[in-house]
């Protein structure tokens, strides 16, 4: 087991037990200690404060030790994690060997219990707005708020349907509790906005100020402290959005210690590809937004997601089915949701037939 596999395994278990992922510094320390590096080497390699890294190590050992009730330190770190992995694997194999087809194993007692027929793998296409349904993105959300609280704006970059819009909704809902300096969160979906006028009209409506633009808008917004979340920001490459509009948006989000706007934007391509900066066509985000790349889930997060959705049902997917779901989805949340929905539906059809 290499360092990345070890981290993914442990982070998946911790996420399953606590609903919170290890943060980025904890990840760097985990991988560094696995590779037998000193705290000094880790801090230098990752460009982190040495004292902070040195303090993170013992806190990480204590966190893992408390969760799994083990004695963990720098010297026994790797063999202890490897032992946990072996125990987990053997337990899973035992569970699989004892598991028979859920349909033929329906006992009289089970038949007396209510059967949950509602498919838990939803929504299939919509943005997730119910926070209890959002899974496996706490690390990304934490990094976004760390960046915002450090004084920078953020760009969520990822392929279509990877979950950027759902992340924006989570940030929108969590902003009141996680921003160190309060800002009013405003969400705009640019797929429904086609030009400058549409944007100004919608923004002013959400901020509850008179519709305005230019200097008047600047004066109005300078009275505000806003967190502006822009979805489908690639729409701003359309001809309906002018050079002046881009410059004004940039000016409101940059160049001040505490600008009126702090941005969180979502796009399907990197910003230097979408908005190449030039004199004639200035980028509204160059040097303003720090990119956070949204990647597919790892296999342990996929397993945790499936377990969490099946928790209140009488259905359990077989190991073979789970492996196929991991491979078929590639860790892409929406594809995984669809494939799990289809697999669950087959189980329920079989149960209804058996009953």
Note whether 226 and 261 are within 8 A (CB): yes
Supply the pTM of this predicted model: 0.64
Query: What's the whole-number mean pLDDT along residues 318-323?
Result: 93
Residue scoring higher pLDDT (88 or 158): 158
Measure the CA angle with vertex 286, ends 281 and 291; round to 5°: 135
Q: Which two tokens mark 201?
A: 């009209």
Note whether 40 and 328 are within 8 A (CB): no
| Structural domains of the chain, with CATH | 1-98 (no CATH), 103-128+297-355 (no CATH), 137-293 (3.40.50.300)
Chain segment 257-276, per-residue pLDDT in tens: 788 999 999 998 888 888 87
At 200 the pLDDT is 92
Q: Which two tokens mark 267?
A: 């796009």
**Cis peptide bond prior to 123, omega within 30° of 0:** yes
Residue scoring higher pLDDT (244 or 33): 33
Task: Judge whether residue 57 has pLDDT over 60.
Answer: yes
Task: Judge whether residue 231 has pLDDT over 90.
Answer: yes
Task: Judge whether residue 343 has pLDDT over 70.
Answer: yes
Note whether 122 and 134 are within 8 A (CB): no
Chain segment 136-154, per-residue pLDDT in tens: 899 999 999 999 999 999 9
> Distance between alpha carbon 317 and the CA centroid of its chain, in Å?
25
At 179 the pLDDT is 94
Task: Judge whether residue 322 has pLDDT over 80.
Answer: yes
Task: Judge whether residue 316 has pLDDT over 50.
Answer: yes
Name the band, by pLDDT with cuts 50, 70 and 90, for residue 104.
very low
Distance CA 166, CA 137 (A): 10
Helix, strand, or coil (residue 289): strand
Residue scoring higher pLDDT (118 or 320): 320
At 297 the pLDDT is 93
Note whether 52 and 44 are within 8 A (CB): no
Name the band, by pLDDT with cuts 50, 70 and 90, for residue 172.
very high
Task: Judge whether residue 40 has pLDDT over 80.
Answer: yes
At 186 the pLDDT is 94
């Amino acid at each position: 087991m290499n360092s990345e596999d070890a981290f993914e395994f442990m982070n998946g278990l911790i996420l399953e037990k606590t609903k919170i992922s290890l943060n980025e510094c904890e990840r760097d320390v985990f991988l560094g200690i696995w590779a037998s590096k000193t705290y000094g080497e880790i801090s230098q390699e990752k460009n982190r404060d040495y004292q902070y890294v040195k303090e993170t190590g013992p806190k990480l050992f204590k966190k893992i030790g408390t969760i799994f009730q083990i004695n963990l330190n720098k010297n026994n770190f790797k063999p202890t994690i490897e032992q946990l992995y072996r125990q987990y694997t053997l337990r899973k194999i035992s569970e699989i060997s004892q598991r028979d087809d859920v349909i033929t194993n329906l006992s009289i007692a089970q038949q007396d219990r209510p059967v949950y027929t509602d498919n838990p793998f939803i929504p299939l296409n919509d943005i997730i707005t119910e926070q209890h349904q959002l899974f496996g993105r706490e690390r990304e959300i934490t990094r976004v708020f760390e960046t915002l609280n450090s004084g920078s704006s953020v760009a969520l970059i990822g392929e279509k349907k990877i979950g950027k819009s759902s992340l924006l909704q989570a940030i929108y809902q969590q902003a009141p509790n996680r921003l160190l300096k309060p800002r009013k969160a405003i969400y705009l979906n640019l797929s429904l906005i086609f030009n400058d006028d549409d944007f100004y009209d919608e923004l002013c409506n959400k901020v509850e100020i008179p519709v305005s633009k230019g200097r008047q808008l600047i004066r109005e917004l300078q009275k505000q402290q806003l967190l502006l979340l822009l979805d489908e920001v690639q729409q701003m490459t359309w001809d309906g959005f002018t050079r002046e509009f881009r410059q004004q948006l940039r000016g409101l989000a940059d160049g001040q210690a505490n600008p009126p706007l702090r941005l969180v934007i979502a796009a399907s391509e990197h910003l230097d590809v979408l908005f190449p900066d030039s004199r004639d066509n200035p980028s509204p985000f160059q040097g303003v937004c720090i990119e956070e790349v949204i990647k597919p889930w790892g296999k342990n997060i996929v397993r945790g997601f499936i377990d969490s959705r099946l928790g209140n049902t009488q259905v359990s997917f077989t190991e073979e089915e789970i492996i196929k779901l991991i491979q078929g989805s590639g860790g892409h949340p929406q594809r995984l949701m669809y494939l799990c929905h289809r697999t669950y539906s087959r189980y329920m059809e079989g149960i209804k037939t058996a009953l």
